[in-house]
Amino acid sequence: MKAFVFPGQGAQFPGMGKALYEENPEAKALFEKANEVLGFRITDIMFDGTAEELKQTKVTQPAIFLHSVVLAKTTPNFNPDMVAGHSLGEFSALVANGTLAFEDGLKLVYQRAMAMQEACEINPSTMAAILGLPDEKVEEICASITDEIVVPANYNCPGQLVISGSNKGIEIACEKMKEAGAKRALPLPVGGAFHSPLMEPAREKLQKAIESTTFNTPSCPVYQNVSTTAVSDVDQIKSNLIAQLTAPVKWTQSVQNMVKDGATEFVECGPGKVLQGLVKKIHSEAEVSGL
């Protein structure tokens, strides 16, 4: 069985999507539609902008979503048996399996980006990658810090967990992780504490937007970050998507469940190769490739 997986923030690069735009008329039409919906020419920043310009949350999220979704929509015989997306990538996955219309997905991603940006400004906060410690140890250290907010945020693959929280909380946690034997405890260059309780203001805004958007019955199940299991029920998809902003991304567990349900081939649909690497670390026998 073939699973299509969609990357999240951090996969962007200058020039992303340009060849697709120039070589495929259908892709060009979708990119132009996106410029119209967003009210600014995001394609100019994607194709000719600097890495710095691409790093702004309000640009990064719709740019990665667009690259992923346009690839999926212009691939002949695109017919996944299951889909999943890492954080932001979950929105791309939901357009790819027909749950969300292209324009609705794009609008939600842009609203999500703006809401997250605002939440970051309300509570200055950050994230850090912890390498070489068992998940249980990372969870235990996070739980031991009670006067600051620090939580596990991204279960990327065994031995690689990203934590999220207040600046002070992350600083304390990184020290404790190193003392416990982590190979690295590395603060990340992100705008805020994504997938933590500090994203609550963004979750409330996104909830309103999601509730007023039409969701259709998907063509195949989505393995969501929050539940990690196959979901096809529209109401369930919505509530998992709302919960996602303040809950951890359980990527390791999602991939394990996809394998358990028969996935043998994983195709990464979008910029970069991050997910191909993670899938291989989670299940070394999986076949991985990119579109």
- 166, 195, 227, 283: which is the annotated catalytic residue? 195
Q: List the structure tokens of 268.
A: 């990464």
Q: DSSP characters for 142-186?
A: HHH--SS-EEEEEEEETTEEEEEEEHHHHHHHHHHHHHTT-SEEE
**Is position 67 annotated as part of the catalytic site?**
no
Candidates 248, 266, 268; CA nearest to 258 is: 266
Q: List the structure tokens of 213.
A: 């958007």
Distance between CA atoms of 216 and 14, rounded to whole angstroms?
33
Q: Count other C-beta atoms under 10 Å from residue 227's C-beta.
A: 20
- 68, 87, 164, 254: which is the annotated catalytic residue? 87
Question: Coil, strand or helix: which one is 222?
Answer: strand
- Please report, in angstroms and rounded to a whole number, the separation of the first and last CA atoms in the chain: 17
Contact residues for 38 (Cβ-Cβ < 8 A; gap 6+): 62, 106, 110
Q: Find the DSSP H helices in the chain.
A: 18-23, 25-38, 42-48, 51-54, 57-74, 89-96, 102-122, 135-144, 167-179, 200-211, 234-243, 251-260, 274-282
Distance between CA atoms of 137 and 27, rounded to whole angstroms?
45
Cα–Cα distances in angstroms (integers) from residue 10 to residues 6, 97, 212, 230, 265, in the given order: 12, 23, 29, 26, 23
Contact residues for 105 (Cβ-Cβ < 8 A; gap 6+): 65, 69, 91, 92, 94, 95
**Is position 196 annotated as part of the catalytic site?**
no
Distance between CA atoms of 164 and 152, rounded to whole angstroms?
6
Residues annotated as catalytic are 87, 195
